[in-house]
Chain A
């Protein structure tokens, strides 16, 4: 086993050295500005993530979804999820959560919608939305928030978002259509998926051990 590991490590290092050594000539890449203009984006990274390297992003979304399903099923197998005692509400936390929630959600939407024009995109927007949900969970308690936002329906919305991304991206890829409208739609769907996934992971971990 150790010999096998060492051999495979050596092979990996050899591949890296071969790639660096310049035996293979580098292909001529189009300039970044051209790529961005072709996809209707100003943020070149967005054009690469959702355009040129679309397969990468699609499978990344699948990895994310599989993680969430794995966490959910894995922790369900333990069978010691019990409802946590309700968190005592502190007025300060409650008020600040109420105050902050609106701006945070609006900012997340802004980051998602303008992801093709500047720094931003679906994944950061989803993380920001997940933070908003974490803030609400701190103020209200995890179980109560989970009931209030109708978690099973949300999970179906997440699966729907994944299917929609796959259909949209795959369809456009086959049709060969490009444009900024596609980038906006994909970013919003990704934000939705990442936010709900972050909430599901947070909820599972919180209800399996300890309190938030």
Chain B
């Protein structure tokens, strides 16, 4: 049951994140949405590891089945890659803001159609 609730929450997080990623026009908001969606993916992986009545995957914590340790190991990768993507993307946003003076995607596209204004 807790696993199902976590999966539902994860899907909701991914939905909110992707909604923000698609609808918002500001690049920083888009990156925030991407990050929230990644948190949803991480929560989904953790929920996958859940088994009813399971203990944490540490030896010697008592009898019973242990949670699946493999998704937990994958979560680490997801977090690090998420951090790396966010940091590099923020650098590119700083570049864009410095050279084009806007973070609005539609304005960037319009400027590209018209030819970039000379700074």
**Residues of A bordering B, CB below 8 Å:** 32-33, 36-37, 41-45, 48-49, 53, 56-57, 60, 63-64, 66-67, 70-71, 74-75, 77-78, 80, 118-119, 121, 123, 201, 205, 208-209
> Judging by beta carbons under 8 Å apart, are A201 and B87 in contact?
yes
* A70-B88, A123-B80 known; A208+B94 contact, CB < 8 A: yes
B→A interface (CB under 8 Å): 56-60, 66, 69-70, 72-73, 76-77, 79-81, 83-84, 87-88, 90-92, 94-95, 98
A149, chain B: closest CB distance, angstroms: 21
Contact at A56–B59, with CB atoms within 8 Å?
A: no
Bound-complex Cα distance A75 to B86 (A): 15
Which A residues lie within 8 Å of B69 (CB)? 32, 44-45, 48
Contact indicator B84/A33 (Cβ below 8 Å): no
For A80, the closest partner residue in chain B by CB is B98
Distance in angstroms from A158 CB to nearest chain B CB is 15
Does the CB pair A78–B95 fall under 8 Å?
yes
Closest chain-A Cβ to B84's Cβ sits at a distance in Å of 4
Verify A43–B76 contact, CB threshold 8 A: no
A53 to B60, CA, bound (A): 23
Tell me how far the C-beta of B59 lies from the nearest C-beta in chain A, rounded to whole angstroms.
Answer: 4
Interfacial chain A residues near B80, Cβ < 8 Å: 60, 63-64, 123
Q: Which of A32, A37, A123 has the most CB of B within 10 A?
A: A32
Q: How far is the CA of A119 from the CA of B59 in the complex (A)?
A: 11
Q: Name B59's contact: one of A36, A53, A75 (CB within 8 Å).
A: A36
The answer to whether A71 touches B59 (Cβ under 8 A) is no
Q: Which of A60, A75, A123 contacts B91 (CB 8 A)?
A: A75
Q: Do A45 and B57 have beta carbons less than 8 Å apart? A: yes
B57 contact set on A, CB distance < 8 A: 32, 43-45
